[in-house]
Amino acid sequence: MTTDRHQDEQAFVDAIETWAEKELRPVAKAFDQADEYPHAIVEQMKELGLFGATISPEYGGLGLSAWTYAQIVIKVASVWMAPSGIFNSHLIVAAAIERNGTEEQKRHFLPRLATGELRASIGLTEPNAGSDLQAIRTVARREGDDYVVNGSKMWITNSLHGNLTLLLVKTDPQAQPRHKGMSMLICEKGPGFEVVGKLKKMGYRSIDTCELRFDNYRVHESRLLGGVEGRGFVHTANGLELGRINVGARGAGIAEGALKLALRYAQERETFGKPIWQHQAVQLKLADMVTQVEGAKRLLEQAAVKYDRGERCDLEAAMAKLAGSEAGANCAQEAMRIFGGYSYSVEYDIERFYRDAMLMCIGEGANEILRQVIAKQLIDRHRI
């Protein structure tokens, strides 16, 4: 990256940090408690260009590096994690289209995705298929120039207020191995595409996470991602690299935000005649928290740099996601303990960080699965 571009991207990160403090922090608690979608915040994110953050300038985006993008996510999530999910799924879809789509698909969708005119979700998970994506049951049957889709998806973020879903389907349910029968379709809302309703969640509130049902939904063959059947599992795996960098960044942001809240409270709160930061037990917690935050950031940077170079980074992205999400969960919990009884009051933001953190350990690959991915990749790279 050139010096000028680096300075420009850093200035953008700084601007997002200022925006998050000014616009997100004052309203986060109210939106979270009401579980209300932040329409005005979304419009601000459009104006900032966040929906085109990683889309190439050729298609109207900002063309930011993955590491700059990760830093933006950290800044947003350190104040309020939920809004980062609105542009996360969206940008995974955009990256999948830009990397794998036909030229017609890129020209048709990417400029509208970059402005936020189209807001996208990614339809992978099903009621009986989470980490085992090859077990999906949603089927797309070829009929003339169309695919006819039947099935359902679960936990799909951006699907209620968005208007496009990149849908993982079985185009050949009998294929062996199973992944060879999977494809992705670019699906805009229409007859047969039903958003069942917003799911109630412990955390990650305000964001529209829904169940989708498809009943003889028709989509033209020109919307088959890349124009070739059987590549859906590969496209999904490629997209998960950016997704895991994002979720790792969200976890690191939660961790950093929890640390900031804890640092302030530890200096304000007094027990036994002195600020609680002077107690050794609190000092140990703060030391572990900052070490986890900074360690997660370095792993995120390593993964993002490899992603930007176009190099394989499944191992690095998995480590970054694991470290970031575990840092988020650990730091939120430790901050709860530092806040003591007040942590259980909705008047303090730390309880929201605690509720939001655990999702990062589950989304974009459960951490138990990622540990297996890391171990297998480690052996592959160090064969004897």
Active site residues: 364
Give the 3-state DSSP-derived string for 28-75, with helices as H, strands as E and coil as C.
Answer: HHHHHHHCCCCHHHHHHHHHHCHHHCCCCHHHCCCCCCHHHHHHHHHH
What span, in angstroms and rounded, lies between the C-alpha atoms of 30 and 32? 5
| Position 27, amino acid | V
Instruction: Give me the half-sphere count of Cα atoms (radius 13 Å) on the Cβ side of residue 1.
Output: 17
Q: What angle do CA 317, 320, 321 make, to 5 degrees?
A: 85
If 0-12 CB within 10 Å is exposed, 13-18 middle and 19+ buried, where does residue 89 land?
buried
In 3-state terms the chain splits into helix, strand, coil percentages (rounded to 5) of 60, 15, 25
- Do strands 209-220 and 146-157 pair parallel, antiparallel, or not at all (unpaired)? antiparallel
What span, in angstroms and rounded, lies between the C-alpha atoms of 105 and 52? 16
Residue 151: its H or E element = strand 146-157
CA 359, chain centre distance (Å): 10
What span, in angstroms and rounded, lies between the C-alpha atoms of 35 and 197? 14
